[in-house]
Structure 1
Amino acid sequence: MTKMLKWLGIIFLVLIVIGMIAGKKEGVKEEGNTSSSNELVNNNTEAAKYVLNEKEKKVFNAMLQDDVDSFLDGGDSMLSDGLIVTTSLEVAKAYEDNQVGADQKYYKKDILISGKIEGINSGLGNEPYITLNGTNPFLAPQIHFDNPNIDKIASLSKGQKMTFVCMGNGAVVSAPMFKDCQLAEEFVINKIEKIKPQVQEFLRGEKPRTELVGKLTFISIAVARLLPDNSKCYSGGKNCAKEIQELFDKTPKEDMKKIHTEMQQLGLKV
């Protein structure tokens, strides 16, 4: 699946998050630009101790996109907090080597698992399940769904790399089993829906519920003050994360502490 397809169902919700943070409605245009409305400005800005400006919103959006992109590829991200990040090959090898040890690691644990599709199958009651690549094609890890998206599953192909969020369910005849699975992009959409009110709470001075909310918001504010006006982060550039990392490497810690202190004085729990 291309990155464009991954973002098709996600980018709209990401933009809504940013729009609600600033107390404005955002409408998505064909080329990804946004148009603003002042309808919600008064209600949200009165309660907020800090309101993100346009540059800060763009940095937040770029960083969130980078984190989601890493998550969908099965990599490390703040969205994967609380999940065991692994691959179907790693799981298959673990169960092949030691089922008891593998159960201790994966059984009844929430897992972000990625791999290439080996098979798209219909089981009991025509319930779909997917097998991923492992060490043995006859003992391939199985992905079973809680609420399967039939149309989406029907559009998948063998050999396609996919990422799922599941609960480990042990092994049957050494084949690793996963239950209550959902597509990673569906998990992200639900996660972002929960982030909306949490970011607003943080900007009202409440303690952030998650690392993702607190860290991304604070870094967005700090970075927007330090980035040059021609930064790729303001235009949706792919190298935003790299640019931010380089910025942090060369920015004196005293400058970051000043911004941190300012946010605390405004009442933010940073």
Structure 2
Amino acid sequence: MAGGVASITPKRFVVAPLFISLFRSFVATHDIDDLRLLSVLIFLLLHYLLSLSWPFALLPFLLLGRILAALIRNLCHGMDVVTEVIQKGREKGVKKLFKWVGIIFGCLVVIGMVSNAMKSPEQKQAEAAALEQHRVEQAAAEKAKVVAELAAMPVVTASAIASAYDANTVAADQQFKGKKFKVSGTVADINTNFMGQPYVTLRGGVNQFMEPQFAFEKSDAEQLVSLKKGSKVILLCTGKGDVAKVPMSDSCSLL
């Protein structure tokens, strides 16, 4: 070990400081000429220092590690720059896309207005008649669908609803609450609640104080004007559950 250190000539100590100086210059300026010169000096440094003792022989590898770290850092910075450029390009592209969409939409509106202005009165009248006919047909189809659904819907008696809630409220709610159904019965009373909403009660409750109640919308109050106690009716209602075992329904209408 001592003999190896003693055999080092002064020339071998000149290379390392020069290499470090050029390395610092490379890190600071990233000049390509420095990089080429560093490659030559790495070779010379390996040549001179491999004959030294092992601590000095590790020096080139440490310096190479620093160079690699600098290169990786610069590469990451370059990737950040590229990502930023791509993002700005995308933003510009989106703005251009919206611009062209607006232009195309405006052109279509103008074309539609010009085309409509060029139509004769007869053409406009024919188109309006066709549109009205389509609306009438669509309304008739919806009405026919509702009528078919009503015809297929079974009718339950008021006494059956009252018995279901008296026997098992949970099971009755699953059957009626929140669902539309047709109910038949005899009118026991015609009245309004504290909010002025009209309703009727149908016979069939557990007792005369617990008759099932079927409420109507205020706008449908005209349906009840001619109704009398004892009348036989069929209603279309939506179940609301019960209040103290009294079945309650609303949104009713006379069928």
TM-score normalised over the length of structure 1: 0.38
User: Which protein has the larger Cα radius of gyration, Structure 1 or Structure 2?
Assistant: 2
User: Does 1 or 2 have the higher relative contact order (CA < 8 Å, sep 6+)?
Assistant: 1
Name the structure where helix makes up a greater proportion of residues. Answer: 2
